[in-house]
Amino acid sequence: MHVQRNASRSLMVAGLCAAAAMAASAVQAQEDTITLGAAVSITGKYSTNGKNTLDGYQMAVKRINEMGGVKVGTTTYKLAIKYYDDESTSARGAQLMERLIAQDHVAFVLGPYSSGLTKAIAPVTEKYRIPMVEGNGADRDLFTQGYHYLFAVLNTSDYYLREAVNLLAEQAERIGKKPSDLRIAIAIENDNFSLDVRNGVMEDAAKHGMKVVIDDKLPPELNDMSSTLTKVKALRPDMLVVSGHDKGATLAVRQTSDQKVHVPMLALTHCDSAQVAEKLGAAAEYAVCASQWDRSLNYSDRWFGSANDYAQRFEKEFGYAAPYQSAESTASVLVYADALARAGSVDPQKVRDAIAKTDLMTFYGPVKFDDTGKNIAKSMVLYQVQGGAYKVVAPSRWAQSRLVFPAPRWEERESAKRN
């Protein structure tokens, strides 16, 4: 009897020891993890791009942890993401950021999807003096507010289609036309991002002396732009610029083709995330699209290798081709990994200063921030849909293919198909 009681007591002691050890290791594990907080759009109108963003973050965290984590001073940390669904609304985004910082004690923040949400969240991170590295808020306004803790790895939105204007001027000269004789039509969604795209186009068009003949702003819920296209048909501009996230790209491709509206150059944003070439087929042919990144670019880094290696790894992990929204999200995490190692500390202030001094090459492109926090080292690329695939046509340094300009008329395309 006595022996039995003793045995049960020693069992209990052993159990307690095990529990204590487990608790200790849990504390240990928590200490060795750096949590990056984010509000991302899992539901609501940005849910597709929100998922792209989150997948990009997860991809980076997984890869960095696979490679052993981040060495900060003498300790090696794993990375983790803590995120909430902001429902694609600004108010919710700001609220969740308060919660991440004040309740969850997150000391490093990754950006949400879209300029609007980034605008809503930036004042919160500024207030708490917590750095935010983002890859999906491209609005120029974000970098005129004097924010000290905001860093963006992407090009601001006014740069999206500036290159298209310059390309148009170049092509016009090639076929013996004066750039100042060219006319541009603009139809954009009435939101921050697209208004910036428009302003960039207007500025560069003015530089070349081109005339903007249509300047329409599409309401966000509109799913028909036929009155604008009738104007395009009447005025015959040399280029039609459409920007309105995935919806704008799909609508423009679908309706120019349905209504047989001819423009020598159709310049769009968000073609790749809207998958216009894949989903709309021949209708998307010859459309020119701005992109932050492409897998064919010859950038590379120590985490993923080349841009193409990243794209392959991403596709294997998530089962769809990596859009640039994911690539720039991954790059945001890489900036943290690099800055944390250089700072040698997990103090937000020190990490912020290290981020400001970033000079990093990634698979996504070079990253170097100016005083306002935007990346000044990278440039945009332009694709043209050729034979159902996105071919890089500008800048000429990375061009795979020559731009087809002017795009053939619809009746020529049809007769070419028949032959």
Partner 1 sequence: MDNLAILAQAPVFNLQLLVDGVLIGALFALAAFGMALVWGVLRIINIAQGEFVMLGGYVVVYAAAAGVPPLAAVPLAALALYVLGWLLYRAVIWRVVDQDLFVSVLATFGLSILLQQLANQLFGANVRSVDPGLGTLLLVEGSISVPYVKLVAFAASLALGVALVLFLKRSRLGQAIRATSQNARAARIVGVDTDRVFASTFALNAAICGAAGALVSMTWVIHPYFGLAYTVRAFMIVVVSGLGNLAGIVAWGAGLGVAEQYAGFLLGAQFQTAFVFGLLVVILVARQLALHRRRMVLR
- Spell out the residues 6+ positions from residue 318 whose beta carbon is closer than 8 angstroms to its own: 55, 59, 326
| Closer CB to partner 1, 93 or 365, in the complex | 93
Judged by CB under 8 A, the stretch of 7-15, 17-25, 276-284, 308-316 that binds partner 1 is 276-284
Answer for which of 225, 240, 284, 394 binds partner 1 (CB under 8 A) is: 225
What single string gives the DSSP state of each residue in 132-169? EEESS---GGGGSS--SSEEE-SPPGGGTTHHHHHHHH
* Interface of this chain with partner 1, residues 25 to 84, rule: CB under 8 A: 43-48
Judged by CB, which is closer to partner 1: 274, or 392? 274
Chain center to CA of 51: 11
Stretch that binds partner 1, among 32-40, 122-130, 227-235, 370-378 (CB under 8 A): 227-235
Give the DSSP H or E segment for 408. Answer: none
The residue from 133, 274, 337, 394 that contacts partner 1 (CB under 8 A) is 274
Examine residue 18 and tell whether it contacts partner 1 (CB under 8 A): no
Q: How far apart are CA 329 and CA 8, in angstroms?
A: 55
Please answer whether residues 276 and 245 qualify as being in contact, where contact means their C-beta atoms are separated by less than 8 angstroms. Answer: no
Residue with tokens 């969740």: 96
Q: Which is nearer to partner 1, 194 or 362 (CB)?
A: 194
Task: Out of 222, 321, 341, 377, point to the residue binding partner 1 (CB under 8 A).
Answer: 222
Taking the complex as a whole, the smallest distance from the CB of residue 364 to partner 1 amounts, in Å, to: 24
Among residues 127, 129, 260, 357, the one that binds partner 1 under rule CB under 8 A: 260
Whole-number Cα distances in Å, 277 to 206, 280, 286, 414: 31, 6, 10, 17
Among 31, 104, 173, 224, binds partner 1 (CB under 8 A): 224
**Can you tell me whether residue 254 is helix, strand or coil?**
helix
**Binder to partner 1 among 230, 298, 396, 415 (CB under 8 A)?**
230
State in angstroms the smallest separation of the CB of 325 from partner 1: 13
Residue-wise over 2-36: b if at least 16 C-beta within 10 A, else e? eeeeeeeeeeeeeeeeeeeeeeeeeeeeeeeebbb
Pick the piece of the chain touching partner 1 (CB under 8 A) from 153-161, 230-238, 295-303, 382-390.
Answer: 230-238
CA distances from 139 to 164, 234, 297 (A): 18, 32, 24
Under a CB-based contact definition with an 8 Å cutoff, are residues 322 and 295 in contact? yes
Asked whether 118 and 90 are in contact (CB, 8 A), the reply is no
How far apart are CB 225 and partner 1 at their closest, in Å? 7
Nearest to 407 by CA among 194, 243, 279, 253: 253
Using the rule CB under 8 A, give the single segment among 78-86, 103-111, 223-231, 382-390 that binds partner 1.
223-231
Which residue, among 113, 151, 154, has the nearest Cα to 132 in the 3D structure?
A: 151
Out of 40, 283, 360, 394, the only residue in the binding site for partner 1 (CB under 8 A) is: 283
Least distance CB 94 / partner 1 (angstroms)? 21
Cα 2 versus chain centre, distance: 70
Binding residue (CB under 8 A) for partner 1 from 178, 235, 388, 396: 235
Closer to partner 1 by Cβ: residue 22 or 235:
235
Residues that bind partner 1 (CB under 8 A): 43-48, 187, 190, 215-219, 221-228, 230-231, 233-235, 246-247, 250-251, 254-255, 258-261, 274, 280-281, 283, 411
